[in-house]
Structures are given as C-alpha cells and as structure tokens.
Structure 1
Amino acid sequence: MPSIFISGAARGLGRAVAEKFLAEGWTVGAYDIAPITYEHPHLFSGILDVTDAASWEEALGEFATHSGGLIDVVDNNAGILIDGALSSLGPNAVARQIEVNCLGVTLGAQAAHPYLKKSKGQLVNMASASAIHGQPNIAVYSATKSYVGGLTEALGLEWRRDGIRVIDLWPLWARTGLAEVEAPSVRRLGVRITPEQVAQTLWRAVNYKNRWERGKVHHGVSTLDKALYLGRSLAPDRVARLLTRVIAG
C-alpha cells in the first residue's frame, strides 16, 4: 500500500488531500500542530511543529513505523497567512509567516530526504498563485511562496540523482481559512477553488501518466491560475506589474 505524509493536515487543503488519498487506498500520515479530528483505518496522525527540526524527525519516524519504513510522498502543506500592509504588521507577524512558510517547508524537505531517497519518492510543496507576482497587503506571504517555488526548483535538480521528484502547486484562493482575509485579490477574483480540487490536482500530479507529465514542476489548479502563470512567464515585468495592480492593487 503506497503512503503519503501530510503536514498541516488538521483542516483545509491538508485534510482534503488526506481524505482523497485515503479514498484511493493509500496509507496516510496526517500531522499538524492542532489535533487531527477525523479517523480512518489507514490514517495515522500526530502532532507536528513544522518550525522544529526535531518534531519533523519524530513525526516522520513515527509514521514510517506504520508504512513499512517507506514513505512514497511527503506533502509539505502547512502554511499561514497574516494579511495587512507591511508597514502595519508587527515583527512577530512577519517572523511567524517566514518561520512556518519558509523554514517549516525547508526543514520538512530536509527531514523527508532519507525516506524519499529510499522509496524513490516525491516531495510536494504548497506554493501559491500569489507568488506569480508579489501581491500588496499579503507581501510577506507572497514572498514566502516565491521562496517555496525557488526551493522546489533547486531541490528538483539537487535530488535528481537520488531519484526524488520535487514539485509544487500554485493555486489561487481556495475555500479555506487562509482566504478569510482582506486582500484585494480575494474581492476581485473571488474564492472559487475548493480544497477538493486542490487535492485532485495533487493526486494527478503524483500519479503522472508519462514522462512528459513527470517533468512538470509547477502545477496550477484552476484555469485562471494557470493562465496567470503562463501570462507572467511571457509578459515583461512592467506588464506583469500592471496586471497585478489591477487584480490586487
């Protein structure tokens, strides 16, 4: 039975991913700093502080005892968002987002490496469409997701010889607690993506059908975020900046 370990799995996208993979017959490790409140015969859960390297080691080691020592996929999902203009955010709000979204993802990748090397598995990092071009009023969050994109690309090359595939997801606003903010892009674009859509995209991404699909690194979820990503890759900086001002300025 294949296995997946998910951080930030108590609610939102993490829980949707857990439920999708459980429905497909996988062994699932659902870990979070908050208690896991759902159950399944193939679900194993526990506490994880993603900003603590020792917590990662303990959680992955514990789950591996239930998955035959192998972990096929690690979903680096945990993340937080604190909205507001940078000039109005306190230092703790800034630091906490960087700690969870950057340090937490990096420590998770580091701790997952030996397990994924053994299984020739996959690391999935949760990025965001907010990283396509930096967004005002969620500047720190947006920047942390740009970091996730860069980390994904670097590790994809660094871990290639170990047989580990590294990818990420770049969804727009999904119907989770993270979207309950005052960012202008929420009002202008709406919250149209469900956690189940994100989970389905992740499922398809790790269960690729051919070498072309295996080579894809960044995965959009909706037609709109895919179009925005493509547009950003083709547009000059001034055009991308203008587009972002219209959507999120």
Structure 2
Amino acid sequence: MNESIFITGAGAGIGRATARLFAEKGWFVGAADRDAEALEALRNELGADRCSIHIADVTDSPSVTQALAQFAGHTGGRLKVLHNNAGILKVGAFDGISPAVHRSVVEVNVIGLMNVLHAAFPYLKATPGAQVINMSSASASYGTPDFASYSASKHAVRALTEALDIEWEQYDIKVGDLMPPFVNTGMVQSNEGQSALFDNMGINLTAETVAAAVRDQVRKPRLHRPISMQFRALWPITRTAPIAVTRTVMKRLWRNG
C-alpha cells in the first residue's frame, strides 16, 4: 500500500484539490464528505484503486469513527496524513447572524475537528512519522470583524494544533496547521458582499495553491504555515506588535481598506 491520506470535506474546494494532488503523487486517498454525489464523482475521476470514499458528517462522531475504520481497512490500519479540511463559514455582523448559525460554525469547525482527531488517533499512532494537518486561517491571528464566530473557531483550531503537537510528539505524530487568508472556493463565494474585508484584502488564493501547501507541509512540517506572500509578511508582525497596533490595522481594513 502506498502512503495514505484521509481528507475531510473532500467533496469540493480545497479538499477536492488536495485529493487530486495526492492521488497524482501516488498516494492512496480517503475522501470523506457529506455529499455522496460529489464523492462518487471524485472516485470516478481518481479511480477506485487510488481512492476510497466515505460519507460522513464530522459533527456525527459515530459516522466519523465508521469512516476511518473503513479507510483503515484499505490501508492495513495505517494513516500517514490526516488533513482536517472540513469547515463552514458565515460572514456578517455578529448580531445579524442567528445563534443557531453561530453554533453550527463552532460545531463543524471545532467539535467536528475533535471528533476526527479522536477517531483517527489509533491509526496515526500505528503509523511511523504520521502527521496531522489542520485547516486554521489567517483569522486565527487576531479576532476578525464580520467573521466573529469563524475567527473564534479558527483560534480554537490553532490552540488544538499547538496542544496536540506537544501531546502527540511522544507517539511520533507531528501536528501543524495551514493559515490561509481568503481562498476562492464556493464557501467564500457564497459569502461575498457580506464584508468589506473581501474587497480590501482580496480573494487571491486558489484551492490548488492551498493543496500545494498541504504537500509542502508533508515535506517540511511546521507548527503554523501562513499561506500567501501577504500573510507570510504579516504573520510575524501580528505575533510581535503591540495589540493596539494590530487592532488598528484590522479596524482600518474592515472599515475602508
């Protein structure tokens, strides 16, 4: 069996682009998503010898456990890379978004992530040199207006990444995250017009660019991997500048660019 990667949210966007890239490189891909039709199309494209598909909702722990067990049946119980890609986004003024929608963002982006991590751990532990690659965000660097619950969820992803990178080191599992700004996917497109930040910062990344960053992370793991020249330049500043400075920059980007 070739090296194996399990990808959540593989039916579209970054997940699909990552599945394609790794299959092209000879990896066996486990593709998980809620969208059965999208998964069937992906398997038809990649071939059943290079891809297994798993209908799963990350917020439903039993379905996640079942999906990973099925995947492990194809790989001899091994899992080299877990790419926690599944996530949702809702943009707008905090008070204009219902509590139910805010809850959904947190349940998918945080609780869903925890469910997958728990279910995947035995297979990661059984694989020498295993890796976890979580999808964080540039919005994890500072609380982002119009993205309040999403930004909060990505701060949680960042914290989980940092904690597990320490906890799981003893098992030879590296844990890191990717931190892209806006990526031109359906998830972002469906929220365009809901914040001036889209216009002021631009939607310049493609799903394929982020998929390539997943590959780079496998080759050279980092705890946090900022993506795009713009954010790679800003990331050190957000970590060292006084909070008042970062707040002022964020406020200007939000209001008028």
TM-score (norm 2): 0.92
Deviation, structure 1 residue 4? 0.1
State the partner residue of 2:19.
Answer: 18
Q: In the alignment, which of 105, 109, 112 is matched to residue 97 of structure 1?
A: 105
State the partner residue of 1:58.
Answer: 66
Q: In the alignment, which of 218, 222, 242 is matched to residue 206 of structure 1?
A: 218
State the partner residue of 2:82.
Answer: 74
Deviation, structure 1 residue 164? 0.6
Deviation, structure 1 residue 132? 1.1
Q: Which moved more, 1:36-45 or 1:229-238?
A: 36-45
State the partner residue of 2:136.
Answer: 127
How far apart, CA to CA, are the structure 1 residues paired with 2:67 and 2:131? 18
Q: Which moved more, 1:3-12 or 1:85-94?
A: 85-94
Deviation, structure 1 residue 59? 0.4
State the partner residue of 2:161.
Answer: 152
Measured against aligned partners, the alpha-carbon deviations of 1:160-196 in whole angstroms (never above 9, x if no partner) come to 1111100000001011022222222111111110111
Q: In the alignment, which of 192, 210, 233 is matched to residue 204 of structure 2?
A: 192
Q: In the alignment, which of 117, 120, 128 is matched to residue 112 of structure 1?
A: 120
Residue pair 2:77, 2:126 contacting (<8 A) in 1 also: no
- Which one-letter code corresponds to 1:17 in the other structure? T
State the partner residue of 1:173.
Answer: 182
Residue pair 1:132, 1:228 contacting (<8 A) in 2 also: no
Measured against aligned partners, the alpha-carbon deviations of 1:194-237 in whole angstroms (never above 9, x if no partner) come to 111101011011122xxxxx4x2000121111112111011100
State the partner residue of 1:211.
Answer: none
What is the RMSD computed on CA atoms of the aligned residues?
A: 1.0
Q: In the alignment, which of 150, 153, 164 is matched to residue 141 of structure 1?
A: 150
How far apart, CA to CA, are the structure 2 residues paired with 1:137 and 1:237? 19
Residue pair 2:133, 2:175 contacting (<8 A) in 1 also: yes
Instruction: Determine helix, strand or coil for the equivalent of 2:75.
Output: coil
Deviation, structure 1 residue 87? 0.9
Structure 1 runs of 4+ with >2 Å offset? none
Measured against aligned partners, the alpha-carbon deviations of 1:48-103 in whole angstroms (never above 9, x if no partner) come to 11011111110000011112221101111000001111111111101100100010
Deviation, structure 1 residue 19? 0.5
How far apart, CA to CA, are the structure 1 residues paired with 2:141 and 2:198? 15
Residue pair 2:72, 2:79 contacting (<8 A) in 1 also: yes
Aligned length: 243
Measured against aligned partners, the alpha-carbon deviations of 1:12-54 in whole angstroms (never above 9, x if no partner) come to 0000110110110000011101121222220111201101111
How far apart, CA to CA, are the structure 1 residues paired with 2:203 and 2:3? 32
State the partner residue of 1:2.
Answer: 3
Residue pair 1:179, 1:186 contacting (<8 A) in 2 also: no
How far apart, CA to CA, are the structure 1 residues paired with 2:123 and 2:254? 40
How far apart, CA to CA, are the structure 1 residues paired with 2:196 and 2:151? 13
How far apart, CA to CA, are the structure 2 residues paired with 1:183 and 1:130? 14
- Which one-letter code corresponds to 1:152 in the other structure? T
How far apart, CA to CA, are the structure 1 residues paired with 2:214 and 2:97? 33
Instruction: Determine helix, strand or coil for the equivalent of 1:137.
Output: coil
How far apart, CA to CA, are the structure 1 residues paired with 2:96 and 2:126? 46
User: Does residue 227 of structure 1 match 2:236?
Assistant: no
Structure 2's unaligned 5+ residue stretches are: none
How far apart, CA to CA, are the structure 1 residues paired with 2:17 and 2:173? 24
Deviation, structure 1 residue 248? 2.4
Residue pair 1:132, 1:232 contacting (<8 A) in 2 also: yes
